[in-house]
Structure 1
């Protein structure tokens, strides 16, 4: 009696499992075959599915990522184990060429030698990487930071304009000279136009003297970008002042030092002659 009951229980369990399997497979089959039974007007979801799957092109993603890195100029950093390319060109920590390697071999080498991986040339084919120690990466970052601080910040050079008459009073000229100096300190160019005064007794070279007087108030700071030249049929003179470059500033300082030494040596020589 117990054996018959056990057999019925086993059969019922098998039957229940078969029903569950048929329901699961039936649902899956209906889902797969349903799009084929739809009318042509209802085929839009299929098209959107195909368009969506097109975005998963790994080759396109890698190419886009390389272009983005090349354009943005990624910072110097440790790549770690996240190597997007299968095959890369590897240099060791001393700069020796290790040749073309698979990323799995590179990761194994990193673990064996306790090194880091840094991207050197992402635009190369294959991309170039270098093995480095943590100290080397730190030193390279510091060197790049110092270079960035030393390099002048490139930007558009502004040109300020200033116009006044040659009859200007000395107090007003001093005020304008201070304004020009402030612009020069901010690395701006200054275009100065001096109109000829109505005074008939005015010397012909007075406007040029005013330009030189303004320039003498900024020794070692500015020079002529364009020298004074007549405009408006000779009724005015115009020039452009610009700040000195770093090289010109150094040369000016060296010249000042030499002049100072020459004066000191000249004074010493005079005193010796007097003693004789």
Structure 2
């Protein structure tokens, strides 16, 4: 009986020693953040080991909450660096004495090519002339730099800013849709034409669908005539982006109207001037007295 108690006591001692060793090992793993043992223990205690399976005599310290690192993408990070680099280069920023390339091609402040130079010689030249060094083209081999004064950099920045403002800002073309019957009354058609004109003036495209009315005696070209009537209310403003065509198995006709381009507006104005000039010339000819033949 004494032997049995001794064996039980030895087993309990081993369990306590194992628990103490496991506790020390866990604390050591927590202190070392990037240790492989810490990752294994975290995975073991947080994912696999259920609380009910742990021994009552073993007191396992609670692991601290995991710190969630910000996810990142190598491609996005490289793209951001590329965009920042491009923005910096186009902003005409002085590089100072930090020249990453060993050999560079240098232009002076007057635009004269000084040839390829070592960066140490370029730095001496910058200090001697009291100028600033600006990277102009990093895609060539060797890359191109230019010596510039502070006033030249300011003027060049202003010129580039004006160029950016002058560039047309494109935006996606939005489309409005309008559907009505071919039996529409004239008053309602005038109201819809005004709405279409407002959309066109805001540079929307307008998709118009006209359904055939219940009256079977309507001529086939009635819906096309309605489209032309709508377009005639907006001279010099709108035109067909998509001409009338049958849809829904011939039960309706659809077209798309858009705003005139700048070129089309200029052509329309020129045509109007020419037409007006022809009318004036014709009126002047009609106002002249008939020629009388003197014998």
TM-score, normalised relative to structure 1: 0.67
Question: Which 10-residue stretch deviates more, 90-99 or 230-239?
Answer: 90-99
Aligned length: 222
How far the C-alpha of 1:188 sits from its partner, in A, is 1.9
How far the C-alpha of 1:259 sits from its partner, in A, is 2.0
The residue aligned with 2:60 is: none
| Aligned counterpart for 1:81 among listed residues 88, 96, 110 | 96
Q: Are the aligned partners of 2:136 and 2:146 in contact in 1 as well (CA < 8 Å)?
A: yes
Kindly report which structure 2 residues correspond to 1:133-212, keeping only aligned pairs within 5 A, or say none. 133-212=149-228
Structure that is richer in helix per residue: 1
Q: Are the aligned partners of 2:197 and 2:234 in contact in 1 as well (CA < 8 Å)?
A: yes
How far the C-alpha of 1:86 sits from its partner, in A, is 3.6
Instruction: Calculate the aligned-residue CA RMSD, in Å.
Output: 3.2
How far the C-alpha of 1:262 sits from its partner, in A, is 2.3
Kindly report which structure 2 residues correspond to 1:1-276, keeping only aligned pairs within 5 A, or say none. 67-69=82-84, 72=87, 74-81=89-96, 83-87=98-102, 88-272=104-288, 274=290
Closer, same or farther: CA 82–198 of 1 in aligned 2, 3 Å = farther
Structure 1 residue runs of 4 or more that deviate by more than 6 Å after TM superposition? 44-47, 63-66
Q: Are the aligned partners of 2:212 and 2:252 in contact in 1 as well (CA < 8 Å)?
A: yes
CA–CA distance in 2 between the matches of 1:140 and 1:273? 66
Gaps of 5+ in 2: 1-28, 36-77
Q: Are the aligned partners of 2:89 and 2:135 in contact in 1 as well (CA < 8 Å)?
A: no
1:106-157 superposed Cα distances (whole Å, 9 cap, x missing partner): 3433344444433322333333222334444344333333332332212221
CA–CA distance in 2 between the matches of 1:102 and 1:223? 62
Q: Are the aligned partners of 1:69 and 1:122 in contact in 2 as well (CA < 8 Å)?
A: no
Closer, same or farther: CA 267–107 of 1 in aligned 2, 3 Å = farther
